[in-house]
C-alpha cells in the first residue's frame, strides 16, 4: 500500500491484547495511548488523538463518548477482536476529517464476508480464558461459527472482571469516607460483558449479512475514589456486497448501522451525570471497471447523531450533528509502481439544542463544507525495495463540544469553554517512507510532517470559575482552591477551545531480523518512533 498501514491478528494480536484498545496498540510504531487508568485509553497516532483518530467497527462508524473525555472508555473489548487494521497518517479521503491522524478498524467477523465452510457444512469456534495476577483479571470468551457455502452464522459472548491494579508504591484511597493506604491503584476495578449474533447469506455474486451486538461495562475512574461509570452500547449493522457485475461498475458494497450508547457516572451509589449518544451511519462504495491502468472507488457516506448530557458534569449541551460526504479514490499502475489520488467533499451541520436544565446553554447552529485531497506514489526502486510518498490537504469541522462546551469537567479538574465562532481545522501533511523485505527479514521507516493552520486545542485562559455556580474568577485569597465566599464551591481553571497554528514532525521505524532458521525459528523485532509538536 502507498499509505503506511499495518494489520494485527492471530498470535501477534493475542500476545498484545490488554483490557483496552489503546493499551493493546500502545508501543507499535507511531502509536501510543491516552491513559486514564486501566479501563479507559484511546489510541494516539503520530501525536494526534481524540476526534483526529477515527475508530471503526468492521469498516463502519462506532459511536461512544470516548473522544469527549479521557475517562470515557472505547466500546470495544480486545477479547472479541479478530483483527485490527491501522492506517497511520491522513485517512480523511475515505473516512472524513476526523481521520486526519489515522484510522483504527476493529474487525470481529460478526458479519462474515466469505463462506466459512464448503457445501457439506461445518462448525468451528474458540474459547479464550485469561488469568492475570497484576490486576486480578479473570476473563472468558466463547465464539462459535457454523454454516456451509450458502450461509454462515456467528455467535460470541465474553465476560471479564478485574480488581484494582497493583502498583509498587502505597497510595491513599478514600472509600465511603474512610482513608486507607494500599499498593493498589484506587478505584481501578472493572466488570465488562457483552455478546453478539450475526450471519450472512452468500450468493454467486456477493453476500448480505446482519449483526446485533451488546456491550456493558462498569468501571472505576481513578481521578475520584468514589466515582464509577456504568456504560452500555447496543449496535445493529447491515452489510452487503455485489461483485463481478461486468459493466462500468464492477462491484458495489453497502453498510448501514445504528448505535445506541449511554453511560451514567455514579458518585457512590447515587447516579450523577448521564451521557447519551445515538446515531446512524450509512456508506455506499462502488468500484469501477479498470480504465487502462486506472482503477478505484467512488462512494457516498452519511452520518447523524444526537448527543445529550444531564447532571452536574454536563459541560456540553444537547446537540445534533449530521454529515454527508462524496469521495473518490483512484490508483494508476505503471511499470515502476503506481500513483494514487483522490478527494472528499463534505457537508456538516452542528446544532446546539440547549439544555432545559442548564441556562448557560443556548440554541445555535453552524454549517461547514470541509474538503480534503491527497496524492501518493509508490516506486519499486530495486528488488525487495519500495519508496512511498504521500501529500494531503485535510479539513475538519469542529465538534459540538469544541463549539458549544461551557461548564465543569470534573474528571480533568477544568472548566471547559467552547467557541461557537471556530473555523474549520485545516492541515497539510507530507509522508515519505521506504521499506525492504527479503524472506523473514524486513525493514520500514517513515518520516512525516503535519502543519495545521487552525489546530483546535484546549488552552488555559488564566481565568477561573466556581464549579457549582459558574462565578467568574471567584476570590481565593488563601489559595486553597475554594471560593472564600462559599466553602462548598470549588474553583476550576478555565480551558478554552482555541484555534492555533501547529506543526507535528516525526519519524517511525520497524524491522524484523531472523536470527535462527530451522525446525525452530527465532526473530528479533525492532521498533521505534518519535514525534515533536509545536504550537
Q: What pLDDT, on the 0 to 100 scale, is given for residue 75?
A: 86
Domain limits for position 157: 5-534
pTM for this model (two decimals): 0.90
Nearest Cα to 369, choosing from 102, 99, 100, 97?
97
**Integer Cα distance of 275 and 263 in angstroms:** 5
Q: What pLDDT, on the 0 to 100 scale, is given for residue 93?
A: 81
Distance from the Cα of residue 429 to its chain's centroid: 21
pLDDT at 483 over 80: yes
pLDDT at 79 over 70: no
For 424-462, write each residue's pLDDT tens digit: 999 999 999 999 999 999 999 999 999 999 999 999 999
Q: What pLDDT, on the 0 to 100 scale, is given for residue 318?
A: 95
CATH number for the domain spanning 414: value is 2.40.170.20
In angstroms, the Cα distances linking 115 to 118, 121, 122, 202 are 7, 10, 11, 7
Number of domains observed in the structure of the chain: 1
Cell of 163: 480488581
Q: What pLDDT, on the 0 to 100 scale, is given for residue 364?
A: 95
> Dihedral sign, CA of 62, 112, 89, 340?
negative
Amino acid at each position: 500500500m502507498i499509505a503506511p498501514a499495518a494489520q494485527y491478528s492471530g498470535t501477534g494480536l493475542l500476545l498484545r491484547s490488554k483490557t483496552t484498545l489503546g493499551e493493546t496498540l500502545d508501543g507499535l510504531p507511531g502509536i501510543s495511548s491516552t491513559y486514564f487508568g486501566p479501563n479507559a485509553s484511546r489510541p494516539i497516532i503520530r501525536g494526534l488523538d481524540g476526534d483526529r483518530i477515527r475508530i471503526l467497527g468492521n469498516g463502519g462508524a462506532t459511536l461512544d463518548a470516548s473522544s469527549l473525555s479521557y475517562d470515557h472508555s472505547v466500546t470495544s473489548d480486545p477479547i472479541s477482536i479478530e483483527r485490527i487494521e491501522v492506517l497511520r497518517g491522513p485517512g480523511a479521503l475515505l473516512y472524513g476529517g476526523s481521520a486526519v491522524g489515522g484510522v483504527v478498524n476493529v474487525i470481529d467477523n460478526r458479519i462474515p464476508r466469505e463462506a466459512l465452510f464448503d457445501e457439506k457444512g461445518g462448525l468451528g469456534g474458540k474459547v479464550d480464558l485469561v488469568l492475570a495476577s497484576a490486576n486480578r483479571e479473570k476473563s472468558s470468551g466463547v465464539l462459535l461459527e457454523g454454516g456451509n457455502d450458502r450461509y454462515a452464522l456467528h455467535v460470541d459472548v465474553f465476560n471479564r472482571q478485574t480488581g484494582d491494579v497493583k502498583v509498587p508504591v502505597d497510595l491513599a484511597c478514600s472509600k465511603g469516607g474512610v482513608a486507607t493506604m494500599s499498593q493498589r491503584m484506587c478505584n481501578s476495578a472493572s466488570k465488562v460483558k457483552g455478546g453478539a449474533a450475526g450471519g450472512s447469506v452468500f450468493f454467486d455474486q456477493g453476500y448480505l449479512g446482519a449483526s446485533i451486538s451488546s456491550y456493558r461495562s462498569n468501571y472505576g475512574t481513578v481521578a475520584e475514589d468514589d466515582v464509577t461509570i456504568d456504560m452500555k452500547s447496543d449496535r445493529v449493522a447491515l452489510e452487503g456486497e455485489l461483485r463481478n457485475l461486468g459493466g462500468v461498475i464492477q462491484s458495489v458494497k453497502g453498510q448501514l448501522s445504528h448505535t445506541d450508547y449511554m453511560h451514567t457516572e455514579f458518585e457512590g451509589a447515587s447516579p450523577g451525570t448521564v451521557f447519551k449518544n445515538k446515531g446512524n451511519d450509512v456508506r455506499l462504495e462502488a468500484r469501477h471497471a479498470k480504465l487502462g491502468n486506472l482503477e478505484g472507488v467512488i462512494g457516498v457516506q452519511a452520518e447523524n447523531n444526537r448527543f445529550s448530557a444531564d447532571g452536574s458534569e454536563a459541560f456540553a449541551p444537547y446537540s445534533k450533528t449530521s454529515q454527508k460526504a462524496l469521495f473518490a479514490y483512484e490508483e494508476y499502475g505503471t511499470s515502476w509502481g503506481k500513483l494514487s489520488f483522490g478527494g472528499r467533499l463534505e457537508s456538516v451541520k452542528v446544532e446546539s439544542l440547549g439544555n432545559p436544565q442548564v441556562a448557560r446553554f443556548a440554541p445555535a447552529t453552524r454549517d461547514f463544507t470541509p474538503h480534503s485531497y491527497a496524492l501518493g506514489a509508490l516506486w519499486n526502486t530495486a528488488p525487495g525495495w519500495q519508496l512511498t510518498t504521500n501529500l494531503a490537504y485535510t479539513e475538519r469541522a469542529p465538534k459540538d463540544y469544541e463549539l458549544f462546551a461551557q461548564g465543569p469537567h470534573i474528571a480533568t479538574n477544568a472548566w471547559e469553554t467552547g467557541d461557537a465562532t471556530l473555523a474549520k481545522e485545516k492541515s497539510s501533511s507530507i509522508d515519505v517512507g521506504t521499506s525492504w523485505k527479503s524472506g523473514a527479514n524486513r525493514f520500514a521507516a517513515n518520516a512525516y510532517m503535519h502543519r495545521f493552520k487552525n489546530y483546535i486545542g484546549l488552552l488555559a485562559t488564566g481565568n477561573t470559575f466556581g464549579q457549582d455556580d459558574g462565578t467568574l474568577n471567584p476570590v481565593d485569597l488563601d489559595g486553597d482552591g475554594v471560593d472564600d465566599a462559599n466553602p462548598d464551591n470549588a474553583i476550576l481553571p478555565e480551558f478554552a477551545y482555541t484555534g492555533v497554528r501547529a506543526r507535528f514532525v516525526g519519524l517511525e521505524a520497524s524491522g524484523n531480523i531472523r536470527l535462527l532458521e530451522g525446525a525452530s525459528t527465532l526473530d528479533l523485532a525492532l521498533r521505534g518512533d518519535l514525534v515533536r509538536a509545536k504550537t
